[in-house]
Chains A and B, each alone.
Chain A
Amino acid sequence: MSEQVLPFYLVCDESWSMEGPDGVDAINGCLPDLHREIGSNPVVADKTRFCIISFNHEAQVLLPLADLSELTTMPAMSANGGTEYGTVFNLLRSTIEQDVARLKQDGHQVLRPAVFFLSDGQPNDSADWHVAYQRVIDPSWSARPNILAFAFNEADEGIIKQIATVRAFSYNGTLKPAQALQEFAQSLIRSIVRSGTSGGADGGMTLAMPDTVPGFTTIPADVV
């Protein structure tokens, strides 16, 4: 039996600078909320899938693309290591490719995936990551995702703008770091809920994006 599926990817920096209550702890604290809110909403639970990819100088799929209403536990992030973008974009491309292929093989109708990307630092591989990133947004790749990118603390606003394909957000200090990260998680929850439920401008399910996120300044994405 076929289903309509909207896959979400949380791609989150867990380098050492994200350590503690003003870092990964704040996001870890919000993941159960995400789990609960999505799981209890029948409209969203039935058609969204959620994946967590975390990265420092390495990248790993922390939570393989899952139906949140079928999960009983959520993995937590843990900070250490440096920050590299090339590895995580390579992993993101291959993960989406495999997920979409598997969903299609199971007979599902797949909507364009959505990526929420958050980083708090400058990539150490500044010369190399663009190549991996270009493969993620390759216009000839039909499953290329919509990307919302969030710059936190020391992250370079200019780089985050390059990464976002639809909208970027930059931490502006108006909220404490932990609160801002909670707002980031809330914006992810709201986007999932509204994307699963509201028709897009063209009549189908599409990504519902936040216009503003408290604690962050909205910046238009660079046109790609």
Chain B
Amino acid sequence: MSSERLVPDRPDDEWRPVLGTVAPAPPQLPGEVFEHPPSYRNPHPMGGVPRGLPRSDEAVPDTVLDGADFERLVVRAASLRGDEHRYYGEPRQDSVALWPVTLAGGDALVACVADGVGSQPNSHRGSALACAYLREEVEKLPKDWTWDHVDGFAATARWIAMAMENWAHRHDLPPASLSTTLVAAVVEVAPADGRHRFEVLRVGDSPAYLLRNGELTEFAPPRSSEGGILDTATDALPSHPSAVRTVKGDLGKGEVLMLCSDGLSNPMRSDEVRAQLQEWWTRSDEPPGILEFGWQLGFRAKSFGDDRSAVCVWAR
């Protein structure tokens, strides 16, 4: 094979071999003109290769991207299969979902991220179900609903858990096989006073952040474990609806509400990763496009091979 065909985009004098080198440089394939997302600490080159398609009853695509540009709110969602699931041809277990709903006579956005528990065989179904049932429950909220509902989310989590258990029984599956975390937000789309009220509901270790003044700050971060051994245990639906935690707040112009799975929050413990995301997402006058947002989440970091999902909501 001539090296000319391998490097079609380069002028002659750049690719011509230099006499005296021992090992030839690796061939530059045409696909490499694509600019890859950042890579941290030299992850194994085979790590991100999807070596197969998952054998599951329904299609679970490798990547889901979504988004909308409302007049004063921009939302982006992405869920990317992790390097480990790609390498083993297994389905992505995370889910993301965005829905418009009418709440208290106004338009609202429902955004959720769910992280199916690693070892459970149906957790990819569980994470999708948790998102879908959350939307059903939000739509059932009464007409006199106010943006002061956080206490009521305890009941919402219970209903979601019950609906998931019923689904499991109908499909003759153990409810725990659906185990998933859930972090969801209801956000006001067009507030009269310019501040978008929001409420967040969480079960498990999928966090929510506020990006304000260039800093991502986690709502109610967990206490770091003493002695420093990483605690991987998490609360999950449908088993632990009582572990629900809630927070309410409002988003001013230029601020971002971010929900994600621990496939993002774990590598975000590194300053480099966090700083890069903050830099990209702080430009509220120009949030990333839908494809660009997916690209940004596609960074590779050594040893972080989990599914990675996030929803960002920019107020503008």
Of B44, B87, B181, B303, most buried by chain A (CB within 10 Å of CB) is B303
With contacts A43-B83, A43-B84 taken as known, whether A204 is within 8 angstroms of B118 at the C-beta atoms is yes
Complex Cα spacing A87 to B181, Å? 45
In the complex, A168 has a CB within 8 A of chain B? no
Q: Are A111 and B272 in contact (CB under 8 A)?
A: no
CB distance from B269 to the nearest CB of A (A): 5
Interface of chain B residues 75 through 101 with chain A (CB within 8 A): 83-84, 87-88
Other-chain residue from A1, A69, A104 in contact with B301 (beta carbon distance below 8 A): A1
CB distance from A50 to the nearest CB of B (A): 14
Q: Are A199 and B266 in contact (CB under 8 A)?
A: no
Other-chain residue from A1, A2, A69, A198 in contact with B119 (beta carbon distance below 8 A): A198
Interface of chain B residues 28 through 54 with chain A (CB within 8 A): 40-41, 43-47, 49
In the complex, A197 has a CB within 8 A of chain B? yes
CB distance from A108 to the nearest CB of B (A): 8
Other-chain residue from B47, B230, B234 in contact with A110 (beta carbon distance below 8 A): B230
Q: Are B233 and A1 in contact (CB under 8 A)?
A: no
**Which residues of A are found within 8 Å of B43, using beta-carbon distances?**
42, 46
**Which residues of A are found within 8 Å of B88, using beta-carbon distances?**
43, 197
CB distance from B159 to the nearest CB of A (A): 23
CB distance from A79 to the nearest CB of B (A): 34
With contacts A42-B47, A43-B305, A46-B303 taken as known, whether A4 is within 8 angstroms of B119 at the C-beta atoms is no
Identify the stretch in B161-169, B207-215, B220-228 within 8 Å (CB) of chain A at 4 or more residues: B220-228
Q: Are A46 and B302 in contact (CB under 8 A)?
A: yes
A1-22 vs B: 1/0 string, CB under 8 Å? 1111100000000000000000
Other-chain residue from B83, B118, B181 in contact with A42 (beta carbon distance below 8 A): B83
Complex Cα spacing A142 to B225, Å? 9
Residue total for B at the interface (Cβ-Cβ under 8 A):
41
Interface of chain B residues 221 through 243 with chain A (CB within 8 A): 225-234, 236
Interface of chain A residues 160 through 217 with chain B (CB within 8 A): 197-206
Q: Are A100 and B84 in contact (CB under 8 A)?
A: no
In the complex, A112 has a CB within 8 A of chain B? yes
Q: Are A199 and B227 in contact (CB under 8 A)?
A: no
Of A2, A141, A143, most buried by chain B (CB within 10 Å of CB) is A2
With contacts A2-B269, A3-B303, A46-B305 taken as known, whether A110 is within 8 angstroms of B228 at the C-beta atoms is yes
In the complex, A98 has a CB within 8 A of chain B? no
CB distance from A203 to the nearest CB of B (A): 4
**Which residues of B are found within 8 Å of A3, using beta-carbon distances?**
41, 301-304
Q: Are B301 and A203 in contact (CB under 8 A)?
A: no
CB distance from B63 to the nearest CB of A (A): 19
A106-130 vs B: 1/0 string, CB under 8 Å? 0101111000000000000000000
Complex Cα spacing A107 to B44, Å? 20
CB distance from B214 to the nearest CB of A (A): 21
CB distance from A185 to the nearest CB of B (A): 23
Of A5, A46, A47, most buried by chain B (CB within 10 Å of CB) is A46
With contacts A42-B45, A143-B229 taken as known, whether A203 is within 8 angstroms of B305 at the C-beta atoms is no
**Which B residue sits closest to A141, measured CB to CB?**
B227
Complex Cα spacing A205 to B45, Å? 21
**Which A residue sits closest to B227, measured CB to CB?**
A142
CB distance from B224 to the nearest CB of A (A): 10
In the complex, A221 has a CB within 8 A of chain B? no
**Which residues of B are found within 8 Å of A104, using beta-carbon distances?**
228
Q: Are B270 and A111 in contact (CB under 8 A)?
A: no
Complex Cα spacing A142 to B119, Å? 24
Q: Are A142 and B118 in contact (CB under 8 A)?
A: no
Other-chain residue from A5, A198, A199 in contact with B303 (beta carbon distance below 8 A): A5
**Which residues of A are found within 8 Å of B234, using beta-carbon distances?**
202-204
In the complex, A52 has a CB within 8 A of chain B? no
Q: Are B267 and A2 in contact (CB under 8 A)?
A: yes
Q: Are A199 and B47 in contact (CB under 8 A)?
A: no
Instruction: Rank and list the top 4 A-B pairs by shortest CB-CB distance, nearest first.
Output: A199-B118, A204-B232, A142-B227, A42-B44
12 contacts between A and B (CB under 8 A): A1-B270, A4-B230, A42-B43, A42-B44, A42-B47, A46-B302, A111-B232, A142-B226, A197-B87, A201-B119, A202-B119, A203-B179
